[in-house]
Structure 1
């Protein structure tokens, strides 16, 4: 159950495993954040080391991503119930490079009771290719694997509690490993709980060449109601995460 195949050849006649949506759920923390002595030193550091640890579950027979629900945790458990776990590490960089713009973004998001949160209220791009990796296999055949590429687009690297515009809680990712290329969509929730649904793609799929902004724009166009301002959750319930191979076409413009 939930076993992936390592054949990379498109058109191999067996794409059923790509109909499985792999949902990763865990806590993302900043490693060594407490070692930073003051806010000025935090802004001098271009990279923020991160660690993401939790468990993943397969949503089988979910060629239609709208059929995949978010996994539940039982009895206040830290992780969802699963035989497969992961722990990956990496780093994040603010997308806004201009230090004055970074400071202005922090001031706009400043709260009177939690000044530290201000430094993370800007978009970041992260990579997660380090750490122990993730489990795959059953019983004694379980092995650890790592992604060769795993890039994430985060609106924030901490839960900011913004319920006015829930698009600020969305997270997008893309990457590749020995099983092939993949894209992911999900969101951050209280406690810095990051939940992402991963869809493996055929090599010929147009989405393989999407940028993170392309992915973001296509997902948001499928889950965001402009009239009400509501976001459909889980965020992967959209056409962009279906398993059907998408043909090359004109990319949607990112707002």
Structure 2
């Protein structure tokens, strides 16, 4: 009931709600990098300007044909994650995969060419128990996200003869992640927050039973910087290794 045609949406008054399976792969293969992840699904835009507090669309709505899709790929951030934490941790999309066909997210800009793939320049995701937070930026501006992880499935694949315990193996664990994205004005205080700062901000005012994207921190109104010290003015892209 809050859905608007894509063409009339204002970027910052819309919550972009992404839903799909988030899969993490750990492998014991020699020389293998940090655990990789992929997150694939569909997104729906919901009118959420001013004081509107939208519900996420029902689960079935995300399965409708013709919805814009997304496919995010990257790895666990080893500097910010304890490897023993199970599914929790900080993940970042792989900047080297920008422009790869079918990686990124789709959008119909209403100019007659249908769904087109776009990339995020930066996308960092933090899974903290069942809470999920993200920060990033792309051609449309900086954004913050908040959402939830649910369910759990686990698979293990051996890469050698059956029963050989020393054979390399891959463990794959996955959860369903629903994450609502809010685009921001460049001057918004949230636009320069690091992921840990944003997670603390988004958790702070949350009350039981309130959807993570309906907290005051996710509102469309511009947040003013409470203390603009030189340190907070740095663009958060400075986080890159």
Same fold (TM over 0.5): yes
Cα offsets for 1:210-247 (capped at 9, x unmatched) = 111221111111114xxxxxx43421111111110111
Cα offsets for 1:73-93 (capped at 9, x unmatched) = 22xx8x443621111111113
- State the match for 2:144 in structure 1: 183
- State the match for 1:90 in structure 2: 74
The separation in 2 between residues aligned to 1:49 and 1:4, in whole angstroms, is 37
**CA deviation after TM superposition for structure 1 residue 250, in Å:** 4.0
Say if 2:106 is the partner of 1:135.
yes
Secondary structure of the corresponding residue to residue 236 of structure 1: helix
- State the match for 1:152 in structure 2: 125
- State the match for 1:24 in structure 2: 18
1:241/1:68 CA distance change after superposition, 3 Å: same
1:127/1:246 CA distance change after superposition, 3 Å: same
The separation in 1 between residues aligned to 2:209 and 2:133, in whole angstroms, is 15
Secondary structure of the corresponding residue to residue 68 of structure 1: coil
Do the aligned residues in 2 keep the contact of 1:62 with 1:68 (CA within 8 Å)? no
Greater shift, 130-139 or 188-197, is seen at 130-139
The separation in 2 between residues aligned to 1:4 and 1:217, in whole angstroms, is 33
The separation in 2 between residues aligned to 1:62 and 1:244, in whole angstroms, is 8
Secondary structure of the corresponding residue to residue 67 of structure 1: coil
Do the aligned residues in 2 keep the contact of 1:219 with 1:240 (CA within 8 Å)? yes
**CA deviation after TM superposition for structure 1 residue 120, in Å:** 1.1
1:45/1:234 CA distance change after superposition, 3 Å: farther
Do the aligned residues in 2 keep the contact of 1:184 with 1:196 (CA within 8 Å)? yes
**CA deviation after TM superposition for structure 1 residue 60, in Å:** 1.7
Do the aligned residues in 1 keep the contact of 2:48 with 2:220 (CA within 8 Å)? no
2:86 to 112, 115, 120: 120
Secondary structure of the corresponding residue to residue 217 of structure 2: helix
Q: Which runs of 5+ in 1 are unaligned?
A: 6-15, 107-118, 156-167, 225-230
The separation in 1 between residues aligned to 2:149 and 2:195, in whole angstroms, is 17
1:69 to 42, 46, 55: 55
Which one has a larger percent strand, Structure 1 or Structure 2? 2
The separation in 2 between residues aligned to 1:136 and 1:60, in whole angstroms, is 16
Q: Which runs of 5+ in 2 are unaligned?
A: 153-174, 229-241
Q: TM-score, normalised by structure 2?
A: 0.70
Which one has a larger percent helix, Structure 1 or Structure 2? 1
Secondary structure of the corresponding residue to residue 226 of structure 2: coil
**CA deviation after TM superposition for structure 1 residue 128, in Å:** 2.1
How many residue pairs are counted as aligned between the two chains? Answer: 192
Structure 1 segments, 4+ long, off by >6 Å, are: none
**CA deviation after TM superposition for structure 1 residue 132, in Å:** 1.4
**CA deviation after TM superposition for structure 1 residue 3, in Å:** 4.5
Do the aligned residues in 2 keep the contact of 1:51 with 1:87 (CA within 8 Å)? yes
